[in-house]
A and B are shown apart, each in its own frame.
Chain A
């Protein structure tokens, strides 16, 4: 059961047309999420994590557009679904939680209104039943005095409480997949710990699969089963969390791990990655990490590495793990 594939994204490309040209925000992303597992999507600012999440929900707005790819959810391609059906799936079988709850919750409606609305749209419950369901949900999210909270407007709640309400709404229709986009970035660490524990508990109780978007490798380590590392619109490495963090293969993953100061380990030096993330509208030809890579080779500048599988369940997009000749086929698809 645990191993069954729930979501399979293949060669997803989402681009934005800007006055500076085409911005390849998500550029050939492939990933899988199994039922009941948490996949962490990790990477630095602007690498395409949120756009990947929004693409799966089909919430990309202009000037962005999904150019190609396949998003198969429970064996059906979401990109081929009519809009009405997609509206039912969104918030129903797939839910999303965002970094900033205040910009997602409607300021003009009470907590009760917003949960009931979601329950009604997806035909789960209405009227009095919806109210009882809402109370149960808020209680399950660890919100004290749930009945009173229902009458509150979003601005009357604290940051941690708002995020719990967001998660309550997301969980209200018993989704199979939750996309959590930096759900704790706006919170302090003690609140972050509470919210992450809550997500872990919901996942366990309801067998929920989660795509956890984060830039924090500590969160990746503690709260996910597998991880995908993104760099400049590509997934550069994917695998089980222990092996990925203990034996990172891609030079970028290794670099990231060496950047992070470890608590209580003043003996471990931090080593910055030289340079900075490339301009997404003017990407280098060849490997996108080449300008910063300590292992860069001649052909890294000319051609784009393919995704290789050095071990089962482990993939890495880097010439150190595959033949340079292989990339000739890869160039036109990515």
Chain B
């Protein structure tokens, strides 16, 4: 699943930064947190010790750290803390676009909540444009304004977050939503269960790539013609031959 939150761009220079699933492998183990964050600041022209310290302190505070932790090494932190260091480094680059690839996938829920709140706060504060990639549609729906649903390498539905969640257009989206086990006991819908496994990306089915698992009453085009993304509601589109008739 792919989520796009658009906001106004603060910086004019196009810059893009990634936040990864595994923060550990993307942090230099031989550098302290301070050095890790200082590097992009230096590259971007902050030179004086004073200015650097001030900026590092600001950035660490944004992700819930204090300066006393700045001289420690990545291995001395937990997974969630490392993810926060990664976010602070990303912000040091002053990106216009952040691509966060499964940033909370390997974290416990209590830590996941900490990171999600930090990301959400930053989005609101700096109007940061974020592409938030996740397989967890509950998480996605919490941090995003727009949602794109992917199936076998293609976007099959895209639209405003609440519209996609409440009134999904594509049968795959509906199955995904139904499959999420809800905490509220009454909330579980009779699931539109998908049978079988997703086909291998090496042999994508002809026509609609979802037709081998689709539970709708298919029409001949489903097996012969690839459906294109079409707006069914204002700014809410789906790639399904039957989308309009639902």
Contact = CB atoms under 8 A, between A and B. Distances in A.
Chain A facing B: main interface SS: helix
B175 to A, nearest CB: 6
B214 interface: no
A260 B183 contact: yes
Interface residues of B, number: 40
A291 interface: no
A45 B175 CA distance: 29
Interface stretch (B27-35, B38-46, B85-93, B103-111): B103-111
A230 B14 CA distance: 47
Interface in B181-195: 181-185, 188, 191, 193-195
Interface stretch (A19-27, A190-198, A321-329): A190-198
B165 A223 contact: no
B137 A272 contact: no
B141 A190 contact: no
B42 to A, nearest CB: 31
A74 interface: no
Nearest to B107: A45
B179 A263 contact: no
B176 interface: yes
Interface stretch (A51-59, A165-173, A251-259, A311-319): A251-259
Interface in A210-229: 215-223
Contacts, number: 117
Interface stretch (B112-120, B201-209, B223-231): B112-120
A276 B115 CA distance: 12
Given A218-B180, A262-B183, A262-B184, A44 B108 contact: yes
A276 B141 contact: no
Given A261-B116, A263-B141, A221 B176 contact: no
Given A193-B191, A216-B181, A266-B142, A259 B109 contact: yes
Contacts of A36: none
A273 interface: yes
B8 interface: no
Interface of B: 78, 80-81, 108-114, 116-117, 135, 137-139, 141-142, 161-162, 165-166, 175-185, 188, 191, 193-195, 197-198
Interface of A: 44-45, 158-161, 188-194, 196-197, 215-223, 241-242, 245, 255-264, 266, 270-273, 276-277
